[in-house]
Structure 1
Amino acid sequence: MAPFADRPRRWWSRRARPAPDTVRPAPAVEPTDDELHERVAALLARELGVAEPAEDVPTPVTPARIAAWMTQNQFSYFVDNDGDLGGLWRGRLFYFFLFGEQAEILQVRGQWHREVAIERLEEILDLCNEWNADRIWPKAYVRVRDNGRVHVVSEVATDLEHGVTDAQLSQMLFCGLSTGSMFFDALDERYPDPAGVAP
């Protein structure tokens, strides 16, 4: 047994002492956010293909773009004395306004082509409230004129702070016109009699 007694001790002593020329690996360096972004972009490009640049980029809304849309869709329009753009859609008057500090809020506002007697104001308000509770568009409300006549109004407003493509603008304008017309159709159905006459 004596010849093997010191063998384990030497083996452990050799393992415990590193060789003088042993080089330890440097700790891993964490990649920066930009490097990670480039790696992810390269991975996505490899897996999904390279994205084609957009042909139609969002740009600010202007009255000229709205007028061009009206012309392209063969709708008649006018510019009133205040410089506001308007037109007729299915016999109803609609205006196209731009509000906000940078004219970034597009509003399509329609007006029912009939006036309502002041005596019907409460029932018209109830009808508008029912509509607003059940639907997102358009917002429905009334305006009482100085002569006591009631005008019923539809409104669709959209914040376009970051601009809009031609396709998006077209969709928003059609939304304002078509949903406003749906509301006015519901009024026509509800009031086949002259609404301007007191009940």
Structure 2
Amino acid sequence: MGWFRQRARRWWSSARQEPDATVTSVDDVELHDRVAELLVRELGTAEQANTFPTAVSPARIASWMSENQFSYFIDNDGDLGGLWRGRLFYFFLFGEQAEILQVRGQWHRELAIERLEEVLDLCNEWNAERIWPKAYARVRDNGRVHVVAEVATDLEHGATDAQLSQILFCGLSTGSMLFDALDERYPDPAGAAP
């Protein structure tokens, strides 16, 4: 039985006991104080945040990249990108107020169109078993199959530096996990000795 379930049962058992005969009624303030005291006793106190969420911007993402010693670039369209473990990732902000952060990675290889069905099966299996990243395949104009990893988060109310860092690391690391699985499934023939 989980920790929370045990605590809830213990609390419910104590709450169902016969009330003290001397207590006839409890006003709202006293009831609030009792509930607050119970929550502190059972769950502990919450620590006050030392930073407040602020809007995410390309400058904040670039600053995070610099702080973590990652190389990055801004392409001709003004999009921020970088290489992570030899794979290309972009960092987009979408929405009316640029409130949706998307970390999008591209697998560094392409596959023949004849493998499209099996790549789609791999992506569907990945998406069914994992929350991140969303995996999908696209067919380029040249007929080659391109695999993409994507983590998108709505940050309408902003993010603290710690939250932003966690989201960016999540996008990069889970995207790399997908690409590692692709590398394992489709080893690079030029990477092996003849």
TM-score normalised to structure 2 length: 0.74
The percentage of aligned residue pairs carrying the same residue is 81
State the partner residue of 1:149: 144
Please state if 1:121 is matched with 2:116: yes
CA shift for structure 1 position 98: 0.3
Instruction: Return the alpha-carbon distance in structure 2 between the equivalents of residues 119 and 44 of structure 1.
Output: 62
Instruction: Return the alpha-carbon distance in structure 2 between the equivalents of residues 178 and 147 of structure 1.
Output: 29
Give SS of 1:107's match: strand
State the partner residue of 2:171: 176
Instruction: Return the alpha-carbon distance in structure 2 between the equivalents of residues 81 and 193 of structure 1.
Output: 30
Please state if 1:107 is matched with 2:107: no
For the pair shown, the structure with the greater C-alpha radius of gyration is: 1
Amino acid at match of 2:175: G
Give SS of 1:161's match: coil
Instruction: Return the alpha-carbon distance in structure 2 between the equivalents of residues 131 and 44 of structure 1.
Output: 43
Instruction: Return the alpha-carbon distance in structure 1 between the equivalents of residues 101 and 165 of structure 2.
Output: 12
Stretch moving more, 114-123 or 185-194:
185-194
CA shift for structure 1 position 40: 5.0
State the partner residue of 2:20: none
State the partner residue of 1:12: none
Instruction: Return the alpha-carbon distance in structure 1 between the equivalents of residues 46 and 135 of structure 2.
Output: 42
CA shift for structure 1 position 78: 0.1
Structure 2: where are the runs of 5+ without partners?
A: 1-26
CA shift for structure 1 position 149: 1.1
Give SS of 1:83's match: coil
Structure 1: where are the runs of 5+ without partners?
A: 1-30
CA shift for structure 1 position 143: 1.2
CA shift for structure 1 position 54: 2.9
- Structure 1 pair 150/52, CA: closer, same or farther in 2 (3 Å)? closer
- Structure 1 pair 62/192, CA: closer, same or farther in 2 (3 Å)? same
RMSD: 2.5
